[in-house]
């Protein structure tokens, strides 16, 4: 535990990215000091919230150890990594290098620096195709893409590492993260690829159509089904995980979602209520590596961390996502 009267400190990798920037806000609001690193190969410096001690640094750099030790970091949270399923199919080595090798290096540096726990950003893409919804943490793992396999490999690395060293870990398997900070202090990057981002851009006129990748899936309307979780709720789960580790909690892997599945068409139809003009869709073939249905059983997360989401509602996700795009448009 931090010394009495001393704020706990967290080190975030990928601090200039979508998820880590929201996590930084959540940690600071919870009374933590936040140190962030990012090599800015993908992240954008403007995404780092005010109040974060930021260093332009690759998570594999030997300087990570020096920084973590000198700052007295209590918890390390590893967000840095590549996330595009379709790209991973065609560039697998890029994903294994960034998502496995870099993660292993960071875990080692953080441990040598004396951190008490590591929070790791994983994904529901580790689960086998055909999982019955909702899927629990014990469901068989057989990822359909190099992206999913790289994240599962990193999970194994962290598990094995923490089994023989002092830090404990919380691995959070994200489902589909969406939305923006309700105060619009942060939101998705301009080049983000996910569905809610595309729908939000179309809703404010920043793109003329939304692509639907595959309409022949075995679902009620033929499109993929996903469990969309608001970014601010995901961020709060990281704060809960950090407190859990500081208080001596054991290593654990947890799903992070709401347990409610929505199809691609349902999301688009819902967003149309908030759009400035009718939303045009274009049907295109399936993307390589996409799963049919991905919905979380998140009971273990709620029970273990006491996590209570505040934005478990598609309206909240879409309203904040579209408000963020309107803000970007006004500031352009």
What's the CATH number where 279 sits?
3.90.25.10
Task: Give the residues across from 229 on adjacent strands.
Answer: 177
pLDDT of residue 288: 81
> What token pair was written down for 316?
């909240």
**Is residue 18 flagged as an active site residue?**
no
Residues 89 and 237 in one domain: yes
Given the residues 18, 96, 127, 147, the one annotated as active site: 147
Residues 109 and 233 in one domain: yes
Query: Is 3 within a domain?
Result: no
**CA–CA dist 110, 117 (Å, integer):** 9
pLDDT of residue 3: 58
Query: Is 323 within a domain?
Result: yes
Residues 162 and 16 in one domain: yes
The answer to which of 106-120, 174-188, 241-255, 279-293 has the lowest mean pLDDT is: 279-293
**Contact (Cβ atoms closer than 8 angstroms) between residue 105 and residue 78:** no
Query: Is 72 within a domain?
Result: yes
pLDDT of 130 higher than 90: no
Distances (CA, A) of 120 to 78, 103, 203, 274: 5, 9, 33, 34
What does DSSP say about strands 262-263 and 9-13: parallel, antiparallel, or unpaired?
unpaired
Distance of CA 306 to the CA centre of its chain: 19
pLDDT of 250 higher than 90: yes
For 206-215, the pLDDT digits (tens) are 999 999 999 9
Query: Is 129 within a domain?
Result: yes
Check residues 2 and 135 and name the one with the higher pLDDT: 135
**CA–CA dist 102, 296 (Å, integer):** 27
Q: How many domains does the chain have?
A: 2
Residues 147 and 201 in one domain: no
* pLDDT averaged over every residue in the chain: 95
Kindly report the CATH number assigned to the domain that includes residue 18.
3.40.50.720
Residues 283 and 150 in one domain: no
For residue 301, the tally of other CB atoms under 10 A from its CB is 25
What does DSSP say about strands 262-263 and 225-226: parallel, antiparallel, or unpaired?
antiparallel
Provide mean pLDDT across the span 36-62: 96
Residues 45 and 116 in one domain: yes
pLDDT of 192 higher than 80: no
Query: Is 2 within a domain?
Result: no
Residues 171 and 280 in one domain: no
pLDDT-based confidence at residue 131 (cuts at 50, 70, 90):
low
Range of the domain at 112: 9-179+228-257+300-305
Query: Is 30 within a domain?
Result: yes
pLDDT of 126 higher than 70: yes
Query: Is 159 within a domain?
Result: yes
pLDDT of 104 higher than 80: yes
Residues 268 and 249 in one domain: no
Residues 252 and 265 in one domain: no
Residues 232 and 133 in one domain: yes
pLDDT of residue 315: 93
> What token pair was written down for 118?
């590591």
Residues 163 and 215 in one domain: no
Residues 51 and 173 in one domain: yes
Query: Is 148 within a domain?
Result: yes
């Amino acid at each position: 535990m931090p010394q009495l009267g001393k704020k706990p400190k967290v080190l975030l990798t990928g601090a200039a990215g979508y998820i880590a920037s929201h996590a930084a806000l959540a940690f600071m609001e919870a009374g933590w000091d936040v140190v962030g690193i990012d090599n800015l190969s993908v992240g954008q410096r403007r995404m780092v919230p005010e109040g974060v001690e930021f260093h332009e640094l690759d998570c594999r750099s030997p300087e990570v150890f020096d920084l973590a030790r000198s700052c007295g970091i209590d918890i390390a949270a590893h967000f840095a990594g590549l996330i595009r399923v379709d790209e991973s199919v065609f560039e697998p080595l890029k994903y294994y290098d960034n998502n496995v090798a870099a993660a292993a290096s960071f875990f080692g540096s953080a441990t040598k620096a004396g951190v008490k726990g590591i929070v790791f950003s994983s994904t529901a893409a580790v689960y086998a195709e055909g999982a019955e919804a909702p899927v629990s943490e014990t469901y068989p793992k057989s990822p359909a893409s190099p992206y999913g396999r790289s994240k599962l490999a990193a999970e194994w690395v962290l598990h094995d590492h923490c089994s023989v060293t002092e830090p404990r870990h919380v691995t959070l398997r994200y489902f589909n993260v969406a939305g923006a900070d309700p105060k619009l202090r942060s939101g998705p990057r301009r080049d983000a690829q996910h569905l809610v981002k595309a729908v939000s851009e179309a809703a404010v006129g920043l793109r003329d159509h939304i692509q639907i990748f595959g309409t022949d899936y075995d679902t009620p309307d033929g499109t993929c089904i996903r469990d969309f979780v608001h970014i601010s709720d995901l961020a709060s789960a990281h704060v809960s995980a950090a407190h859990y580790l500081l208080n001596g909690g054991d290593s654990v892997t947890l799903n992070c979602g709401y347990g409610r599945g929505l199809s691609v068409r349902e999301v688009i139809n819902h967003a149309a209520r908030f759009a400035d003009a009718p939303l045009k869709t274009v049907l295109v073939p399936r993307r390589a590596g996409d799963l049919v249905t991905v919905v979380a059983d998140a009971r273990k997360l709620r029970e273990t961390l006491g996590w209570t989401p505040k934005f478990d509602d598609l309206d909240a996700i879409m309203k904040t996502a579209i408000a963020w795009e309107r803000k970007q448009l006004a500031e352009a």
